[in-house]
Amino acid sequence: MEITSNDIKFIREFSGNLYKDLEDIRKFAEENYIPIAKPEVAAFLNFIVKVKKPKKVLEIGTAIGYSAIIIANAYKNANIVTIERDINLAEIAKENFKKAKVEDRIDLICGEAQEVLQNLTNKYDLIFVDAAKGQYIEFYKEIKRILNREGIIMWDNILYKGYVVNEKNVKHKRRTIVYRMREFLKILNEDKTLHTVILPLGDGVALNFKEV
Ligand SMILES: C[S@@+](CC[C@H](N)C(=O)[O-])C[C@H]1O[C@@H](n2cnc3c(N)ncnc32)[C@H](O)[C@@H]1O
CA 84 to chain centroid: 12
Exposed e or buried b for every residue in 22-34, given b needs 16+ CB within 10 A? Answer: beebbeebeeeeb
Q: CA-CA distance, 23 to 20, in Å (whole number)?
A: 5
Ligand 1 pocket check for 109: Cβ under 6 Å? no
Ligand 1 pocket check for 40: Cβ under 6 Å? no
What is the number of the ligand 1 atom nearest to the C-alpha of 132?
16
CATH of segment(s) 5-209:
3.40.50.150
pLDDT at 18: 64
What is the number of the ligand 1 atom nearest to the C-alpha of 37?
8
**pLDDT tens for each residue of the chain, 212 residues long:** 777 778 888 888 877 666 778 999 999 999 999 999 999 999 999 999 999 999 999 999 999 999 999 999 999 999 999 999 999 999 999 999 999 999 999 999 999 999 999 999 999 999 999 999 899 999 999 999 999 999 999 999 988 877 878 877 777 778 888 888 999 999 999 999 999 999 989 889 999 999 98
Ligand 1 pocket check for 85: Cβ under 6 Å? yes
Q: Give tens-digit pLDDT for 18-40.
A: 677 899 999 999 999 999 999 99
Distance 115 CA to ligand 1 centre (A): 14
- Measured in degrees and rounded to the nearest 5, phi and psi for residue 120 equal -80, 135
Which residue's C-alpha comes closest to atom 4 of ligand 1?
36
CB-count burial class (<10 Å; 0-12, 13-18, 19+) for 83: buried
pLDDT at 21: 80
Ligand 1 pocket check for 130: Cβ under 6 Å? yes
Distance 110 CA to ligand 1 centre (A): 11
Percentage of residues of the chain with pLDDT beyond 70: 98
Ligand 1 pocket check for 63: Cβ under 6 Å? yes
Q: Are 116 and 61 contacting, i.e. CB atoms less than 8 angstroms apart?
A: no
Q: CA-CA distance, 156 to 152, in Å (whole number)?
A: 13
pLDDT at 17: 63
